[in-house]
Structure 1
Amino acid sequence: MEMQESMMGRGRDAIDMIVDPESFQENTVGAQSFDDPEFGPGAVVGTATLDGKTTTIIASDGNAFNEKFPVVYAGIIGMEEGYKMAQAVYASIAADADKPLEEKRALVLIVDTPGNGPGKVEEIFGMNKSTAAYQLALAEARLKGHAIIAMVIGRAISGAFLCHGLQADSILSLDANYGTMIHVMPLTSVSRIIKKPLEVLEDLSTKSPVFAAGPRFFYSLGGVGALIDNVDGMRPALIERIAEVQKAKAEGKQDTLGPWGRGALGAERGGRVARPKIIELMNREFAAVAEQYAPAR
C-alpha cells in the first residue's frame, strides 16, 4: 500500500479542496454570526457553495488552541467547540425552515479529531451536555430533511466521532493509505477494560472488524459508506452522495440512511451479520409479551 501525504490537521485545507472556489464564508450560518474568536476556536463553521448549492461546513482546526481549556488542541472537540458546532446546525435548520425538502441545505462535516477534551473543568461545567447537544442538533437536522455527510480526512476517534460524524446520513473516508484512523478506543485501552490480553485482541483484530480499527474495517461494518482513493475525489464523492441522500429522503427512504442504514449496510457487506438476527429475536420476544405492557384503555 503506497502511503500518501496525510491530511491530518488540515481541516481548513480540506474545506478549500471541497467547496466551490472562494465561496467559504467562515463564522456565518444563516442569520447567525460567530463573532467571538475566543469562543470555541477549535471549531470551524461557516457557509459555502458546493456545486453551486448553499452548504453548511463544520470542521475541526487541528492547529487551534483554546487557551481557556488547555486540553483542547490538535483538533480535539472541547465543550465550547461542541456548543459552537451545535449552534451552526440549528442556524442551518432555522435558515431553511420554510423551504421545501429539495431546497434544504446539506451539512458537510469534515472529520479530523483525536477525541473530546475531558479536562476536570469541562467535566464540571458539563462536557457531556455539549457533545450531546451537538448530536441532538445533527439528529434533528437529519430528521428535518437536511442531507448530512461526514468526510473523514484524518482521525475519527472516540466520543468526538460520536458527535461529529456518526449522526450523519452517510460517512465517507479517505482510504487508509492517507493514515486515516477510525476507532472507538485503542486496543490497549480495550485490553484494560475487558481484561483480555492485548495479544488476544490483536489477533482478533485481524479476523473481526468489530475489534479492528481503520477505515477499511469500518467499511466492512457499514460505518463508512465509501472509501475515497485520493483527495481530488473528495469533492465529486460528496456532491454525488449528497444527491443520493436527498433523493432517498424525497422518496421517504430515511431508514436506508443514518445509523439504521449503516447497520443494514454492514450486514450486506458481511461485517455485522449477527445484528439483524439479534434484532429479529428481540422483536419476537417483545411481541410475545407486548400485550402485558400495553397501556390501559
Structure 2
Amino acid sequence: MAWTALVAALFPQGHAITEQDDLLSGVAQVDGGTVAVIGTTRHASIGVELALAQAQAVLRTVREAPGRPIVLLVDTQGQRLRHRDEMLGIQRYMAHLGKCLELARQRGHRIVALVYDQALSGGFVSSGLMADACYALPDATIRVMALPAMARITKMPEAVLAELAHSNPVFAPGPENYLRMGGLEEIWRGDLATALAKALAEAQPADHRAALGQARGGRACAQPVLTAVMEAGRAAQNERARTVRPRRY
C-alpha cells in the first residue's frame, strides 16, 4: 500500500504528513487528539542519515509536544549495506534511534508501530520492535533474515531451513508467524482508523511479547527462561542482603 493511501485510511480526521528522502514525518488527528507520525517509505534502506533523521523527529516530539503519542509507519529493507555506513558505525546510529524511542516512552509518550509494507532486519528492530505495540497489515513482508542468508550464517542447508519454516515460526517470514511469536500484537484488517485509535488507547510500556509468544505457541522457551533469570536474580539479591554485614568505623 502506498503511504499516501495508508495515511488517508489511518487519519480520516486529517493529517499534515510529508515525505523527504524516504522519511515520513508530521502530525495527524486521531479520535480528536493529535499524534506525531514518524516513518519510512519506498522500502527505505536505513543509513546513518535516515537513522539520525528519525531520531531527530522523535526528540523534537519529546521536546516540543510532551506526552504526545507517536505512530511509527514501517517500510524498510533494513540497514544500508555500504562500506561508508559500516565504517561510520551504522549500528550506533540505529541504537541511538532505539534509545530515543525508549526516552520518549520514559517521558510518557505512547508508541504504536504499523508495518504497512516491508520490515527487515535492523531497520525493523530499531523502530517497529521498539514500540509499545507493533501491528501489521495482512500483506506486509516481515523477516529478520532471508533463508539464503540464514543458511550462510548457520551453515545449514537452505532446504533444511525451508522445511523447518513450515513448522517453526522463528524460521518463517510473514506477519502471521510474527504474530505467533508475539512480535506483533495484531494484524489489522478492515477499519484502520478504528484499529489505530484502539491501539493507542490500549498501549502500555510493559513488554509482554515473550508471554504472548508462549501463549500463542510460537516461542515456547522465551518466557520460562526470562522468568527463571529474574527469579535467580532476586534470589541472589536476597542472599547478598542477608550476608553483607555493616561496616564498623
Q: What TM-score, normalized to structure 1?
A: 0.75
Q: Which structure has more strand as a fraction of its residues?
A: 2
Ranges in structure 2 where 5+ consecutive residues have no aligned partner: none
Counterpart position of 1:184:
144
- The answer to which of 115-124 and 155-164 deviates more is 115-124
| Whole-Å separation in 1 of the counterparts to 2:224 and 2:179 | 20
Contact 1:11–1:59, Cα closer than 8 Å, also in 2: no
Contact between 1:26 and 1:45, CA under 8 Å: does it hold in 2? yes
Q: How many residues end up aligned between the 2 structures?
A: 244
Instruction: Report what 1:82 is aligned to.
Output: 51
- Report the 3-state secondary structure (helix = DSSP H, G, I; strand = E; otherwise coil) of the residue aligned with 2:71: strand
Aligned residue for 2:37? 57
Equivalent residue in structure 2 for 1:210, among 159, 170, 182: 170
Unaligned ranges ≥5, structure 1: 1-6, 28-36, 63-73, 98-103, 249-253
Shift of 1:295: 8.4
Map of 1:71 onto structure 2:
none
Deviation for aligned residue 1:141: 0.9
Cα RMSD after superposing both structures: 2.2
Q: How does 1:96-245 map to 2 (within 5 A)?
A: 96-97=65-66, 104-175=67-138, 178=139, 180-230=140-190, 233-245=191-203
Q: Distance in 2 between matches of 1:285 and 1:18?
A: 44
Q: Deviations over 1:125-158 (max 9, x none)?
A: 2322221111111111122221111111111110
| Aligned counterpart, 1:34 | none
Identity %: 30
- SS in structure 2 at match of 1:263: helix
1:46-104 Cα shifts (integer Å, max 9, x gaps): 12222221111112131xxxxxxxxxxx422221111111111111111234xxxxxx2
The structure 2 residue matched to 1:267, chosen from 175, 194, 214, is: 214
CA drift at 1:278: 1.5
**Aligned with 2:167: secondary structure?**
coil
Is the Cα contact below 8 Å between 1:43 and 1:77 reproduced in 2?
no
Tell whether the 8 Å contact from 2:17 to 2:24 is kept in structure 1 after alignment: no
**How far 1:227 sits from its partner (Å)?**
0.8
Q: In structure 1, what residue type is equivalent to 2:200?
A: I
1:8-19 residue pairs with structure 2 within 5 A?
10-19=2-11
Q: Give yes or no for contact 1:118–1:127 (8 Å, CA) kept in 2.
A: no
TM (normalized to structure 2)?
A: 0.89
